[in-house]
Amino acid sequence: MNGNTPGDAVDTILAQWRRERPDLDLAPMGVIGRLARCSALMQRELDTVFGAFEIGRGEFDVLATLRRAGAPYCLAPTALFSSLMITSGTMTHRLQGLEARGWIDRLPDPKDARSKLVRLTAEGLALIDRAIEAHLENERRILAPLAADEVAALDARLARLLAVLEPAEG
């Protein structure tokens, strides 16, 4: 335990390792284990809200990426899958599902006759606008037990870790 919170599942694992291998420095295991566990538990909470809109996390990501691109909410598929760090095959599957539900259109690219652009439909725009509001409220709810200064400190530390882990852009 860290002294500030009651024991968690990671503390149990660490205690077992301390008993079996007292010679090991387990500090990294605690941090990484808690990050992984937080990620899994938060994703379950986030998926609940996405499910209320009958979309999955991947579909939400595509719709949100198009929405934050700004009007006319249109991007090339390569820009989408690069932004989302997924394969082109995964992107194709997602786009097919979103198009079948009427949330995106695929239009000819005026700059490249061999390509198509992906654009939010009016229905897709209305859906993502409702979904993002619910998503942000859910994130606020998840973080509500932490004080504002704790959230800011956590965000700063995670940003630092992400800067170390992420490959340099460009």
Number of domains the chain is built from: 2
Residues 33 and 60 in one domain: no
User: Is residue 3 situated within a structural domain?
Assistant: no
Total-model pTM: 0.83
Q: For position 95, which CATH number holds?
A: 1.10.10.10
Using CA atoms, how far residue 168 sits from 3, 126, 163, 165, in Å, is 36, 35, 8, 9
**Quick one: which of 81, 36, 62 has its CA closest to 119?**
62
Whether 109 and 31 share a structural domain: no
Q: 118: which residues sit within 8 A by CB, 6+ positions away?
A: 62, 66, 74, 75, 76, 77, 80, 95, 104, 105, 106, 107
Q: Is residue 2 one of the residues assigned to a domain? A: no
Asked, for residue 121, whether it belongs to a domain, the answer is: yes
DSSP 168: P
Range of the domain at 67: 53-165
The full length of the chain comes to 170
20, 91: one domain: no
Q: Is residue 47 part of a domain?
A: no
Q: Which amino acid is at 12?
A: T
Work out the pLDDT band at 8, boundaries 50, 70, 90: confident
Q: Can you give the pLDDT at residue 169? A: 54
Same domain, 17 and 64: no
Q: What mean pLDDT do residues 34-54 have?
A: 95
Q: Are residues 38 and 61 in the same domain?
A: no
Residues 85, 134, single domain; the answer is yes
Beta carbons within 8 Å of 142's beta carbon, 6+ residues apart: 42, 45
Q: Amino acid letter at 138?
A: N
Same domain, 86 and 38: no
Query: What are the tens digits of pLDDT across the range 54-107?
Result: 999 999 999 999 999 999 999 988 888 778 877 778 888 889 999 999 999 999
Query: Based on the domain organization, do 93 and 35 belong to the same domain?
Result: no
CA atoms within 13 A on the CB side of 119: 12
Domain presence at residue 146:
yes
Please indicate, yes or no, whether residues 70 and 103 belong to a single structural domain of this protein. yes
* 63 plus 147 within the same structural domain: yes
